[in-house]
Structure 1
């Protein structure tokens, strides 16, 4: 008889397929028993027995939309994500710059617009703490950059520089650049940065992997694998780490769709996908950016933005071209991963899926869906398109209230992060974080999805309104639905549901131990739960150090 390598007992085991047990056994990286009656005979002298102490065991979490390379690099540079205040930003930037006097560029990320007067940063504040060296700090959402005067000079950006077609250079009343660059204008500066080398990219992936494992995550979909978002293509770094046994996570790569290249790139994407044989890195999806974000008026919306009667955002790809691209990718066997924030962009993506002659078992998904018309909720269900949601965003925090809601009309606001409507309509949900746009902590995401208020420890939502005034409470989902979005739902979106996302005999032992049972604690305590242990393929990949 096979003996268990690892056994968990004395706590609820949520299988996430409708079942529940009180014990689980693992051998050879696979689940071999559920429940005391099955597990007890599998104990042997070499079995490591873990007492859950009333905590809970679940399938390990998965992130269906994340940018771990950017997040990992950010953690290796001047990371502002744990701060929320201009003075704190400037103090950290000053200290960081002083610690690296030989660096040509001062680089960082993670700032929130609501800490600045008017919602946008100024080069003069950054000048005061960076001096003559060029500095560039990407916003937490990745859609803007705060640069100093030296960086503007290095890039040759003046009052006479035209806005690029897919971005904006913000200017003061006299037409001078303020130091805030939006969307495509960011590349006017970031293209000058010395690119991180292959070793640095690998270091960033491993840094991100450690961090995500610590949050109970053992699989993710990297939503930008290619020369995208200002970083070099991480494809070869992922493949190398997988080949060397250093990639303990399961990674689905969403290959980057290059705007302006057209459908001839499909053959190249097929070659990239088919050239990989390692199971821990599978580049089987393609990421298409269809619009921007509401905060800078680049999300594509059906009705004009409030106060901007002629502005309906930007559709980055012509709808006819989008439909052709989707059809070609579908026929080539790819899952298409759309970025669509505005309701018009969501509709354009659904139109593209409808026009495709879908192959067997495609997992097309639309990420973000900040706004969605009720008609398109029904269409999503009919087309089988997955709603890739970012639950942490669905709360009345300063970013939403101060920098987004002012641009949305009343009708638009009524269809904001409509998770409840999507769930009730039968649309499959998968959860992602978009980290480093926002925290990748799944337990914080579960808290917001259920309560529509911020978790207690989130530094970007410490005000009373964020924590106690729910955003459209009728759009909340149940605890079970929220957990499923981070487990079975994300596994399905990642095309990993054949062996992960639920717990049963024979499936991969990707597990997370929580300090308490999320199905038993009061809803307002969900965000205070902690990860005790993370297991990938039967191997412990995270466990807090014992003092």
Structure 2
């Protein structure tokens, strides 16, 4: 009688990229009981397979460690799969047509939610709620920007949220207004919450369905572990923890908590690393600033053609007070920083608290590090802390960066410079801000070619081997799992991805042919590894 999947040995034979610098390639790998039992020469590994083991002849395909996505908003990714997606729209009118079409099939009075708004891509400098009113007069509409740092709402949505001319700007937020002082419908940073709070909350069942969809989708991209960034209600976190703790879930999850909840976390004794092999508590998430697309990334000098330097969200005072508190509670500081001023503030805060986090055995993380002043790059690298970056952002950021920061392009997404300086890199997508397809991230990191077809600062390209390392062993290091994930070595988790061919030869035509988590296939189109041949050892 055949053993159930996950209990029977699996022997892989063929091209194996271990991402282990001591042994970069191997001929065979044996999986047993959810872990890697052996890896090396076929003659040495094959005899170790138990009778009845499944043998996977890769036949030109390549086996690698399963990818990490080092920066996701997992629940939102799942929810967005059902929302209006404007990411492909190239003009304001095209986006409005999409809203109108959704309104035609939506019950009057029900909310229409969408994402992927991009003023840069649409070629507009202002947004007006009246345009949304025109195409959807009977539905409250709220559209999130692609960078996630602003929303655009129509009049009905603003009315339901109680936002009007007399509504004051919240701390760290801006209600954009016209010449008469009336809200235009565009709300930036913390002002977005004024409208988002008015949305009906998803039911527990809806959240569970969204998470299941998100897990299945990311598994189809070869992803086995995600680093979930806090920015959602507690009800979302609860369902995420329950879903990811189930062995049937398609991903391992390292989940951050908002720094605003530090006191609550302390009362419960929560700390980084608690949990199991499937779900673990991550760090405390801070936002030093906003994003380029919304002109809220905090810069040292004004954006070209403007007087604004962006927005400091959790600025130096907050970091000075709250980082030591997080560290004292055993929570890793995880800080979003886009602009060069924000990155400088975070690097300074990490330098000041270094004795604390080193003494506690914690590894602070800098998220994005999009714009670094040359003086701060070496300071950051010297800290030897994980730098979590999303090269795929440059595909859609390039046009905006060229317009707003033409004199500072050299500091944008300085992956090669950071790598050369010795900074540990972890790559991800920031989904649903960007497409989580790892192939897109690999291509962006190795070519720097934007949607316009032009390369943005090609001097910062990295070799494909370095990009793969940032999606595997570098990302595992960022969450303290370098001893069990990100490489193919005996005793490590059997979290694997089968690719259509060796990605170090070419990224052209690369496909995911199968994904395995803890020795169980989570994605297998057709049969478990695409066209790979399965026999018995």
- Aligned runs of 1:406-485 on 2, under 5 Å? 406-408=403-405, 410=407, 412-454=408-450, 461=451, 466-467=452-453, 469-485=454-470
Counterpart contact for 1:55–1:517, Cα < 8 Å:
yes
Structure 1 Cα separation of the partners of residues 80 and 459 of structure 2: 36
Q: Counterparts of 1:149 and 1:192 in 2: how far apart (Å)?
A: 13
Asked if the contact 2:385–2:423 (Cα under 8 Å) also holds between the matched residues in 1, the reply is yes
Match of 1:48 in 2: 54
TM-superposed deviation, 1:200: 1.9
Query: Residue 458 of structure 1 aligns with which residue?
Result: none
2:27 counterpart residue number: 22
1:299 and 2:297 equivalent? yes
What displacement does 1:266 show? 5.9
Give secondary structure in 1 for the equivalent of 2:226: strand
* Cα 1:535–1:189 shift into 2, 3 Å: same
TM-score between the two structures when normalised by the length of structure 2 = 0.90
Deviations 1:337-395 (A, max 9, x none): 10011111111111211222222542211111111112221111222221111111234
Question: Aligned to 2:269, which of 268, 271, 296?
Answer: 271
Deviation at 1:275, TM superposition (A): 11
State which of 484, 500, 520 in structure 2 corresponds to 1:515: 500
Equivalent-residue separation in structure 2 for 1:277 and 1:264 (angstroms): 19
Whether the aligned pair in 2 keeps the contact of 1:136 and 1:145 (CA below 8 Å) is yes
State how far apart, in whole Å, the 1-side matches of 2:323 and 2:159 are: 41
| Whole-angstrom CA distance in 1 between matches of 2:61 and 2:418 | 31
Distance 1:375 1:510, change over 3 A: same
| Deviation (angstroms), 1:232 | 4.6
Residue 82 to residue 38, structure 1, CA distance change in 2 (3 Å) = farther
SS of match in other structure, 1:391: coil
Helix, strand or coil: the match of 2:311?
Answer: coil
Query: Structure 2 CA distance, aligned partners of 1:504 and 1:234?
Result: 35
> May I ask how many residue pairs the two structures share in their alignment?
517
Paired residues of 1:337 and 1:364 also in contact (CA < 8 A) = yes
Is contact 1:405–1:413 with CA below 8 Å preserved after alignment? yes
Mapped partners of 2:501, 2:63: distance in 1: 9
- Is the alpha carbon distance of 1:131 and 1:510 closer, same or farther for their aligned partners in structure 2, counting shifts above 3 Å? same
Unaligned 5+ residue runs, structure 2? 1-6, 531-537
**1:188-267 equivalent positions in 2, closer than 5 A:** 188-224=194-230, 228-229=231-232, 231-258=233-260, 264=263, 267=266
* In structure 2, C-alpha distance between the alignment counterparts of 1:527 and 1:74, rounded to whole Å: 28
CA distance, structure 1, for counterparts of residue 520 and residue 376 of structure 2: 42
Which residue of the other structure, out of 350, 354, 370, is the alignment partner of 1:353? Answer: 350
Question: Could you tell me which residue of structure 1 aligns to residue 514 of structure 2?
Answer: 533
Question: Structure 1 residue 113: deviation in Å?
Answer: 2.3
Structure 1: distance between partners of 2:104 and 2:457: 45
SS at match of 2:81: helix
**Structure 1 residue corresponding to 2:17, chosen from 13, 19, 27:** 13
Q: Structure 2 CA distance, aligned partners of 1:153 and 1:187?
A: 14
Contact 1:158–1:177 (8 Å) recurs in 2: yes
Equivalent-residue separation in structure 2 for 1:122 and 1:205 (angstroms) = 34
Equivalents in 2 of 1:44, 1:275: separation in Å? 34
Which segments of 5 or more consecutive residues in structure 1 lack a partner in the other structure?
Answer: 455-460
Note the aligned Cα RMSD (angstroms).
Answer: 2.4
Residue equivalent to 2:370: 370
**Distance apart, 1:79 and its partner CA:** 2.9
Q: Give distance in 1, aligned partners of 2:497 and 2:166.
A: 55
Moved more, 341-350 or 245-254: 245-254
2:281 maps to 283
